[in-house]
Amino acid sequence: MLGLALLSCALGLVSIAGASGNSLSDPLVAYLVKRQMLSFAIGGVALVVFAVSDYHFWASWWRVIYGGALLLLVAVMVIGHHSLGAQRWIRVGPFDLQPSELSKLAMVICLAAILSSQSGKLRTYRDMVLPTVAIAVPAVLVVLQPDLGTSLVFIAILAGMAFAAGFPGYKVLLAAVLSVGSAVALVVAHLHWPHYVPLPLHRYQLARLTAFINPQAHAQTTGYQVVQSEMAVGSGRLFGNGLFSGGVGGQLTYMPENNTDFVFSSIADTMGFVGGVAVVLVLALIVWRVLTCMMLARDTTGALLAAGVACMLGFETLLNVGVTLGLMPVTGVPLPFTSYGGSSAMVSLASVGLVQSIYARRKPIRF
Protein backbone atom coordinates (compact mmCIF):
# COMPACT_ATOMS: atom_id res chain seq x y z
CA MET A 1 0.00 0.00 0.00
CA LEU A 2 2.80 2.42 0.85
CA GLY A 3 4.55 1.69 -2.44
CA LEU A 4 1.33 2.18 -4.39
CA ALA A 5 0.69 5.50 -2.63
CA LEU A 6 4.17 6.75 -3.51
CA LEU A 7 3.69 5.59 -7.11
CA SER A 8 0.41 7.49 -7.28
CA CYS A 9 2.16 10.61 -5.94
CA ALA A 10 4.82 10.26 -8.64
CA LEU A 11 2.17 9.92 -11.34
CA GLY A 12 0.54 13.05 -9.93
CA LEU A 13 3.77 15.03 -10.22
CA VAL A 14 4.21 13.91 -13.82
CA SER A 15 0.64 14.84 -14.73
CA ILE A 16 0.87 18.24 -12.98
CA ALA A 17 4.08 19.03 -14.85
CA GLY A 18 2.70 17.86 -18.19
CA ALA A 19 -0.50 19.88 -17.82
CA SER A 20 1.01 23.14 -16.60
CA GLY A 21 3.55 24.27 -19.17
CA ASN A 22 5.78 23.69 -22.15
CA SER A 23 8.72 21.91 -20.50
CA LEU A 24 10.38 21.22 -17.18
CA SER A 25 12.24 24.52 -17.54
CA ASP A 26 8.96 26.45 -17.60
CA PRO A 27 8.88 28.63 -14.43
CA LEU A 28 5.24 27.72 -13.73
CA VAL A 29 5.97 23.99 -13.99
CA ALA A 30 8.96 24.29 -11.67
CA TYR A 31 6.94 26.31 -9.15
CA LEU A 32 3.99 23.90 -9.06
CA VAL A 33 6.15 20.76 -8.92
CA LYS A 34 8.30 22.16 -6.08
CA ARG A 35 5.25 23.16 -4.05
CA GLN A 36 3.63 19.77 -4.57
CA MET A 37 6.84 18.00 -3.58
CA LEU A 38 6.92 20.10 -0.40
CA SER A 39 3.30 19.09 0.30
CA PHE A 40 4.25 15.44 -0.20
CA ALA A 41 7.17 15.90 2.20
CA ILE A 42 4.88 17.34 4.90
CA GLY A 43 2.37 14.59 4.16
CA GLY A 44 5.18 12.05 4.51
CA VAL A 45 5.93 13.34 8.00
CA ALA A 46 2.22 13.03 8.86
CA LEU A 47 2.24 9.49 7.44
CA VAL A 48 5.14 8.49 9.70
CA VAL A 49 3.53 10.09 12.77
CA PHE A 50 0.26 8.23 12.21
CA ALA A 51 2.03 4.97 11.34
CA VAL A 52 4.21 4.81 14.47
CA SER A 53 1.48 5.96 16.87
CA ASP A 54 -1.26 3.69 18.17
CA TYR A 55 -4.52 4.36 16.32
CA HIS A 56 -6.37 4.01 19.62
CA PHE A 57 -4.72 7.25 20.71
CA TRP A 58 -6.44 9.20 17.93
CA ALA A 59 -9.77 7.50 18.57
CA SER A 60 -9.59 8.33 22.28
CA TRP A 61 -9.20 12.03 21.45
CA TRP A 62 -12.09 12.09 18.99
CA ARG A 63 -14.00 14.80 20.87
CA VAL A 64 -11.03 17.17 20.68
CA ILE A 65 -10.47 16.28 17.01
CA TYR A 66 -14.15 16.86 16.25
CA GLY A 67 -14.15 20.22 18.02
CA GLY A 68 -10.95 21.26 16.25
CA ALA A 69 -12.41 20.34 12.86
CA LEU A 70 -15.57 22.38 13.53
CA LEU A 71 -13.46 25.30 14.77
CA LEU A 72 -11.44 25.33 11.55
CA LEU A 73 -14.59 25.08 9.41
CA VAL A 74 -16.09 28.06 11.23
CA ALA A 75 -12.79 29.97 11.08
CA VAL A 76 -12.55 29.62 7.30
CA MET A 77 -15.92 31.36 7.01
CA VAL A 78 -14.56 34.30 9.02
CA ILE A 79 -10.88 34.68 8.10
CA GLY A 80 -10.66 32.51 4.98
CA HIS A 81 -9.88 34.03 1.61
CA HIS A 82 -11.92 33.76 -1.57
CA SER A 83 -10.77 31.94 -4.68
CA LEU A 84 -12.75 30.68 -7.67
CA GLY A 85 -16.04 31.78 -6.10
CA ALA A 86 -15.52 29.91 -2.82
CA GLN A 87 -14.15 30.63 0.64
CA ARG A 88 -12.39 27.39 1.54
CA TRP A 89 -8.81 28.32 2.43
CA ILE A 90 -6.95 29.82 5.38
CA ARG A 91 -3.60 31.42 4.64
CA VAL A 92 -0.87 29.91 6.87
CA GLY A 93 2.41 31.52 5.90
CA PRO A 94 3.16 30.54 2.29
CA PHE A 95 0.51 27.79 2.35
CA ASP A 96 -3.25 27.76 1.83
CA LEU A 97 -4.80 25.35 4.34
CA GLN A 98 -8.13 23.83 3.33
CA PRO A 99 -10.02 22.80 6.51
CA SER A 100 -12.62 20.82 4.58
CA GLU A 101 -9.88 18.42 3.43
CA LEU A 102 -8.54 17.98 6.96
CA SER A 103 -12.06 17.40 8.25
CA LYS A 104 -12.44 14.28 6.09
CA LEU A 105 -9.87 12.34 8.06
CA ALA A 106 -11.12 13.93 11.28
CA MET A 107 -14.63 12.64 10.60
CA VAL A 108 -13.29 9.14 9.89
CA ILE A 109 -11.63 9.11 13.31
CA CYS A 110 -14.69 10.54 15.08
CA LEU A 111 -17.17 8.18 13.43
CA ALA A 112 -14.93 5.19 14.18
CA ALA A 113 -15.01 6.10 17.88
CA ILE A 114 -18.77 6.67 17.90
CA LEU A 115 -19.73 3.61 15.86
CA SER A 116 -17.34 1.24 17.62
CA SER A 117 -19.21 1.85 20.88
CA GLN A 118 -22.46 0.88 19.11
CA SER A 119 -21.11 -1.95 16.97
CA GLY A 120 -23.55 -4.84 16.84
CA LYS A 121 -26.38 -2.64 18.12
CA LEU A 122 -27.09 -0.68 14.94
CA ARG A 123 -30.39 -2.05 13.69
CA THR A 124 -32.80 0.86 13.19
CA TYR A 125 -32.54 4.38 11.80
CA ARG A 126 -32.97 5.65 15.37
CA ASP A 127 -29.66 4.00 16.24
CA MET A 128 -28.02 6.11 13.53
CA VAL A 129 -29.18 9.48 14.85
CA LEU A 130 -25.98 10.32 16.77
CA PRO A 131 -23.48 9.47 13.98
CA THR A 132 -25.73 11.16 11.42
CA VAL A 133 -25.90 14.38 13.44
CA ALA A 134 -22.15 14.19 14.05
CA ILE A 135 -21.47 14.15 10.30
CA ALA A 136 -24.29 16.56 9.38
CA VAL A 137 -22.87 19.52 11.32
CA PRO A 138 -19.52 19.70 9.46
CA ALA A 139 -21.27 18.78 6.20
CA VAL A 140 -23.54 21.83 6.49
CA LEU A 141 -20.57 24.07 7.30
CA VAL A 142 -18.77 22.75 4.21
CA VAL A 143 -21.83 23.32 1.98
CA LEU A 144 -21.89 26.95 3.12
CA GLN A 145 -18.33 27.56 1.87
CA PRO A 146 -19.66 26.41 -0.72
CA ASP A 147 -18.18 22.93 -1.27
CA LEU A 148 -20.81 20.41 -2.30
CA GLY A 149 -18.30 17.73 -3.29
CA THR A 150 -16.71 17.36 0.15
CA SER A 151 -20.13 17.14 1.80
CA LEU A 152 -20.90 14.20 -0.51
CA VAL A 153 -17.65 12.56 0.61
CA PHE A 154 -18.83 12.93 4.22
CA ILE A 155 -22.07 11.14 3.37
CA ALA A 156 -20.18 8.33 1.61
CA ILE A 157 -17.92 7.91 4.65
CA LEU A 158 -20.94 7.70 6.97
CA ALA A 159 -22.72 5.15 4.75
CA GLY A 160 -19.66 2.92 4.36
CA MET A 161 -18.66 3.00 8.01
CA ALA A 162 -22.23 2.37 9.19
CA PHE A 163 -22.39 -0.70 6.96
CA ALA A 164 -19.01 -1.88 8.28
CA ALA A 165 -20.29 -1.40 11.85
CA GLY A 166 -23.21 -3.75 11.22
CA PHE A 167 -26.00 -1.45 10.06
CA PRO A 168 -28.13 -3.43 7.55
CA GLY A 169 -27.01 -2.91 3.97
CA TYR A 170 -30.51 -2.66 2.54
CA LYS A 171 -31.26 0.20 4.94
CA VAL A 172 -28.11 2.02 3.83
CA LEU A 173 -29.19 1.56 0.21
CA LEU A 174 -32.75 2.67 0.96
CA ALA A 175 -31.50 5.80 2.72
CA ALA A 176 -29.22 6.58 -0.24
CA VAL A 177 -32.03 6.17 -2.77
CA LEU A 178 -34.40 8.32 -0.73
CA SER A 179 -31.73 10.99 -0.24
CA VAL A 180 -30.87 11.18 -3.94
CA GLY A 181 -34.54 11.15 -4.91
CA SER A 182 -35.34 13.92 -2.44
CA ALA A 183 -32.40 16.01 -3.68
CA VAL A 184 -33.51 15.66 -7.31
CA ALA A 185 -37.10 16.51 -6.38
CA LEU A 186 -35.95 19.63 -4.50
CA VAL A 187 -33.85 20.81 -7.44
CA VAL A 188 -36.73 20.29 -9.88
CA ALA A 189 -39.16 22.05 -7.53
CA HIS A 190 -36.75 24.95 -7.08
CA LEU A 191 -36.39 25.37 -10.83
CA HIS A 192 -40.18 25.60 -11.19
CA TRP A 193 -40.94 27.57 -8.02
CA PRO A 194 -37.70 29.33 -6.96
CA HIS A 195 -39.48 31.70 -4.55
CA TYR A 196 -41.27 28.93 -2.67
CA VAL A 197 -38.61 26.20 -2.62
CA PRO A 198 -35.24 27.68 -1.55
CA LEU A 199 -32.02 25.71 -1.85
CA PRO A 200 -28.70 26.19 0.00
CA LEU A 201 -26.88 26.34 -3.35
CA HIS A 202 -25.23 29.19 -5.20
CA ARG A 203 -26.42 30.08 -8.66
CA TYR A 204 -23.34 28.59 -10.34
CA GLN A 205 -23.77 25.31 -8.44
CA LEU A 206 -27.35 24.99 -9.59
CA ALA A 207 -26.26 25.84 -13.13
CA ARG A 208 -23.71 23.00 -13.00
CA LEU A 209 -26.40 20.53 -11.98
CA THR A 210 -28.71 21.54 -14.80
CA ALA A 211 -25.87 21.68 -17.35
CA PHE A 212 -24.93 18.09 -16.46
CA ILE A 213 -28.04 16.82 -18.26
CA ASN A 214 -26.92 18.32 -21.59
CA PRO A 215 -23.48 19.98 -21.35
CA GLN A 216 -23.25 20.46 -25.13
CA ALA A 217 -26.17 22.86 -24.96
CA HIS A 218 -24.16 25.00 -22.51
CA ALA A 219 -20.73 24.43 -24.07
CA GLN A 220 -19.71 28.09 -23.78
CA THR A 221 -21.07 28.68 -20.28
CA THR A 222 -21.86 26.26 -17.45
CA GLY A 223 -21.05 23.13 -19.48
CA TYR A 224 -17.68 24.43 -20.67
CA GLN A 225 -15.54 22.45 -18.21
CA VAL A 226 -17.25 19.14 -18.93
CA VAL A 227 -17.12 19.59 -22.71
CA GLN A 228 -13.43 20.53 -22.66
CA SER A 229 -12.70 17.64 -20.30
CA GLU A 230 -14.36 15.11 -22.59
CA MET A 231 -12.43 16.53 -25.54
CA ALA A 232 -9.15 16.24 -23.63
CA VAL A 233 -9.90 12.64 -22.65
CA GLY A 234 -10.79 11.75 -26.22
CA SER A 235 -7.79 13.53 -27.76
CA GLY A 236 -5.39 11.28 -25.84
CA ARG A 237 -6.62 8.14 -27.62
CA LEU A 238 -4.71 5.00 -26.66
CA PHE A 239 -1.21 6.17 -25.66
CA GLY A 240 -1.66 9.93 -25.29
CA ASN A 241 -0.14 12.98 -26.93
CA GLY A 242 2.94 13.02 -24.71
CA LEU A 243 3.98 15.26 -21.83
CA PHE A 244 3.78 19.02 -22.40
CA SER A 245 1.76 18.43 -25.58
CA GLY A 246 -1.07 20.57 -24.22
CA GLY A 247 1.11 23.47 -23.15
CA VAL A 248 1.27 25.30 -26.48
CA GLY A 249 -2.11 25.51 -28.16
CA GLY A 250 -3.01 21.94 -27.22
CA GLN A 251 -6.32 20.81 -25.82
CA LEU A 252 -5.18 21.34 -22.23
CA THR A 253 -4.75 25.05 -22.98
CA TYR A 254 -8.54 25.30 -22.92
CA MET A 255 -9.03 22.96 -19.95
CA PRO A 256 -9.73 24.86 -16.69
CA GLU A 257 -8.26 23.41 -13.47
CA ASN A 258 -6.28 20.89 -15.49
CA ASN A 259 -3.91 20.09 -12.62
CA THR A 260 -6.41 20.08 -9.74
CA ASP A 261 -10.03 18.96 -10.06
CA PHE A 262 -9.61 17.94 -13.71
CA VAL A 263 -6.16 16.38 -13.45
CA PHE A 264 -7.53 13.08 -14.79
CA SER A 265 -8.37 14.87 -18.06
CA SER A 266 -4.70 15.90 -18.28
CA ILE A 267 -3.59 12.34 -17.61
CA ALA A 268 -5.86 10.98 -20.35
CA ASP A 269 -4.67 13.66 -22.80
CA THR A 270 -0.94 13.22 -22.17
CA MET A 271 -0.81 9.50 -21.34
CA GLY A 272 -3.89 8.25 -23.18
CA PHE A 273 -6.30 5.49 -22.24
CA VAL A 274 -3.42 3.34 -21.00
CA GLY A 275 -2.21 6.05 -18.62
CA GLY A 276 -5.72 6.78 -17.36
CA VAL A 277 -6.38 3.11 -16.65
CA ALA A 278 -3.01 2.80 -14.90
CA VAL A 279 -3.78 5.71 -12.56
CA VAL A 280 -7.24 4.35 -11.70
CA LEU A 281 -5.83 0.84 -11.23
CA VAL A 282 -3.18 2.09 -8.77
CA LEU A 283 -5.83 3.94 -6.75
CA ALA A 284 -8.11 0.88 -6.83
CA LEU A 285 -5.27 -1.29 -5.54
CA ILE A 286 -4.66 1.17 -2.69
CA VAL A 287 -8.33 0.91 -1.69
CA TRP A 288 -8.10 -2.90 -1.93
CA ARG A 289 -5.08 -2.92 0.39
CA VAL A 290 -6.91 -0.68 2.86
CA LEU A 291 -9.86 -3.08 2.84
CA THR A 292 -7.43 -5.95 3.40
CA CYS A 293 -6.11 -4.15 6.47
CA MET A 294 -9.69 -3.69 7.62
CA MET A 295 -10.19 -7.46 7.56
CA LEU A 296 -6.95 -7.96 9.51
CA ALA A 297 -7.68 -5.30 12.13
CA ARG A 298 -7.34 -6.36 15.75
CA ASP A 299 -10.58 -4.72 16.90
CA THR A 300 -13.69 -2.89 15.74
CA THR A 301 -12.12 0.55 16.05
CA GLY A 302 -9.28 -0.38 13.70
CA ALA A 303 -11.66 -2.02 11.23
CA LEU A 304 -13.90 1.05 11.15
CA LEU A 305 -10.96 3.43 10.70
CA ALA A 306 -9.78 1.40 7.69
CA ALA A 307 -13.33 1.26 6.31
CA GLY A 308 -13.60 5.04 6.57
CA VAL A 309 -10.30 5.59 4.76
CA ALA A 310 -11.34 3.14 2.02
CA CYS A 311 -14.67 4.94 1.55
CA MET A 312 -12.96 8.34 1.48
CA LEU A 313 -10.30 7.43 -1.09
CA GLY A 314 -12.61 5.22 -3.16
CA PHE A 315 -15.48 7.70 -3.37
CA GLU A 316 -13.15 10.61 -4.16
CA THR A 317 -11.66 8.60 -7.02
CA LEU A 318 -15.08 7.58 -8.32
CA LEU A 319 -16.42 11.14 -8.11
CA ASN A 320 -13.38 12.82 -9.66
CA VAL A 321 -13.09 10.43 -12.61
CA GLY A 322 -16.88 10.44 -13.07
CA VAL A 323 -16.90 14.24 -13.32
CA THR A 324 -14.08 14.38 -15.88
CA LEU A 325 -15.88 11.80 -18.04
CA GLY A 326 -19.18 13.68 -17.84
CA LEU A 327 -20.86 10.90 -15.84
CA MET A 328 -21.48 13.09 -12.77
CA PRO A 329 -22.13 16.80 -12.17
CA VAL A 330 -19.08 18.99 -11.54
CA THR A 331 -18.41 19.02 -7.79
CA GLY A 332 -14.74 19.95 -7.38
CA VAL A 333 -13.31 16.90 -5.58
CA PRO A 334 -9.55 16.22 -6.00
CA LEU A 335 -8.11 12.93 -7.18
CA PRO A 336 -6.31 11.35 -4.17
CA PHE A 337 -2.48 11.60 -4.23
CA THR A 338 -2.66 12.97 -7.78
CA SER A 339 -4.34 16.39 -7.92
CA TYR A 340 -2.32 19.52 -7.19
CA GLY A 341 -3.11 20.77 -3.71
CA GLY A 342 -1.27 20.64 -0.40
CA SER A 343 -4.16 19.84 1.94
CA SER A 344 -5.44 16.97 -0.20
CA ALA A 345 -1.97 15.45 -0.59
CA MET A 346 -1.24 15.65 3.14
CA VAL A 347 -4.58 14.11 4.14
CA SER A 348 -4.21 11.27 1.62
CA LEU A 349 -0.74 10.39 2.93
CA ALA A 350 -1.79 10.77 6.57
CA SER A 351 -4.65 8.34 5.88
CA VAL A 352 -2.18 5.78 4.57
CA GLY A 353 -0.16 6.23 7.76
CA LEU A 354 -3.25 5.60 9.87
CA VAL A 355 -3.94 2.34 8.03
CA GLN A 356 -0.28 1.33 8.42
CA SER A 357 -0.78 1.73 12.18
CA ILE A 358 -3.79 -0.60 12.02
CA TYR A 359 -1.83 -3.16 10.03
CA ALA A 360 1.17 -3.00 12.39
CA ARG A 361 -1.17 -3.86 15.29
CA ARG A 362 -3.22 -6.44 13.41
CA LYS A 363 -4.56 -9.57 15.02
CA PRO A 364 -2.02 -12.43 15.16
CA ILE A 365 -2.24 -15.16 12.53
CA ARG A 366 -2.39 -18.67 13.97
CA PHE A 367 -1.12 -21.57 11.91
Residue 126 half-sphere exposure toward CB, CA atoms < 13 A = 0
Contact 329, 209 (CB under 8 A): yes
Q: Confidence band (pLDDT; 50, 70, 90) for 248?
A: very low
- Give phi and psi for 106, each to the nearest 5: -60, -40
Q: Which amino acid is at 195?
A: H
Q: Closest by alpha carbon to 46, among 365, 357, 367, 363?
A: 357
Task: Give the three-state DSSP class for 330.
Answer: coil
Mean pLDDT of the 247-269 span? 72
Helices (H), ranges, 236-299: 263-296
pLDDT at 107: 95
Query: Which of 52-56, 184-188, 220-224, 299-303 comes out lowest in average pLDDT?
Result: 220-224
Domain limits, the chain:
2-74+100-360
pLDDT at 18: 74
pLDDT at 293: 94
Return the top range by mean pLDDT from 77-86, 87-96, 329-338.
Answer: 329-338
Q: Which amino acid is at 172?
A: V
- Give phi and psi for 188, each to the nearest 5: -60, -45
